[in-house]
């Protein structure tokens, strides 16, 4: 028996997830339908959300339920959690959008587009906000470690950038004093002691 590092797959409830997604995206569709109804030029009653732009509610609900059911069913059948499951769900959900166009190429095209989008999104981490920071590490210590790893020697910085702009190497005061003495004939150390 081969040992895998990943834990055994636990089946999930496809019908329950589909019902939950149907309700959530149906609510989003209801909101968008209400916005569409509000932005119409004609004076439509409040029932226009259902009668006039109600197709949006049904479309969103169907997309949500189909995506979640196909994603979870694929994961249960394959017994794996990977990027293929959202791609399969995306294909079926995109097919629902294509049905609205009443064209088989639209069904395949929208399905392939949404499958690609969902698969790539899940493959690249499934997050829009980047990685999550490790909460067990103190942030001050983490930043200090980053500074120690990325800090360059002052000699290397001076060689590339030169002195000035807040970057001064050892012996800078003596070199400055000599340069001012040579150019202007003023001894900086004497002027500093006389002023105080």
Helix (H, G, I), strand (E, B) or coil at 100: coil
State the residue for tokens 């029932």: 47
Residue 6: pLDDT band by 50, 70, 90 thresholds? low
> Is 70 exceeded by the pLDDT of residue 194?
no
49-68 pLDDT, tens digit each: 888 888 999 999 999 999 99
84-130 pLDDT, tens digit each: 999 999 999 999 999 989 999 999 999 999 999 999 999 988 887 76
Distance of alpha carbon 122 from alpha carbon 81, whole angstroms = 10
Residue 80: which H helix or E strand, with range? none
* pLDDT reported for residue 144: 85
Q: What is the average per-residue pLDDT within 69-87?
A: 95
Q: What is the average per-residue pLDDT within 33-55?
A: 86
CA angle 64, 97, 75 (to 5 degrees): 45
Bigger pLDDT: 46 vs 70: 70
* pLDDT reported for residue 3: 53
Take residue 190 and report the two structure tokens written for it: 């004497």
Distance of alpha carbon 188 from alpha carbon 179, whole angstroms = 10
For the chain, the first-to-last Cα distance in angstroms comes to 85
* pLDDT reported for residue 145: 83
* pLDDT reported for residue 151: 75
Bigger pLDDT: 84 vs 148: 84
Q: What percent of the chain has pLDDT over 90?
A: 47
Residue 171: pLDDT band by 50, 70, 90 thresholds? confident
CA distances from 152 to 132, 139, 145 (A): 28, 22, 14
**Are the C-beta atoms of residues 92 and 30 closer than 8 Å to each other?**
no
Helices 84-99/104-123 angle, 10° precision: 150
Distance of alpha carbon 107 from alpha carbon 116, whole angstroms = 14
pTM, two decimal places:
0.64
Distance of alpha carbon 130 from alpha carbon 114, whole angstroms = 22
């Amino acid at each position: 028996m081969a040992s895998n590092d990943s834990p055994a797959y636990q089946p999930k409830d496809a019908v329950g997830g589909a019902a939950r997604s149907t309700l959530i995206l149906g609510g989003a569709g209801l909101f968008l339908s209400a916005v569409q109804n509000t932005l119409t030029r004609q004076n439509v009653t409040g029932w226009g959300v259902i009668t006039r732009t109600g197709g949006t509610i049904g479309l969103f609900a169907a997309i949500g339920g189909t995506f979640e059911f196909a994603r979870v069913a694929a994961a249960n059948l394959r017994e794996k959690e990977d990027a293929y499951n959202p791609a399969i769900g995306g294909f079926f959900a995109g097919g629902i959008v294509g049905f609205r166009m009443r064209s088989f190429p639209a069904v395949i095209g929208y399905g392939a587009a949404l499958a690609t989008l969902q698969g790539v999104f899940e493959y690249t981490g499934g997050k829009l906000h980047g990685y999550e920071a490790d909460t067990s590490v103190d942030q001050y210590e983490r930043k200090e470690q980053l500074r120690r790893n990325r800090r360059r020697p002052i000699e290397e910085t001076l060689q590339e950038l030169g002195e000035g702009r807040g970057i001064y190497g050892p012996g800078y005061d003596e070199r400055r004093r000599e340069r001012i003495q040579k150019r202007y004939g003023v001894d900086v150390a004497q002027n500093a002691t006389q002023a105080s």
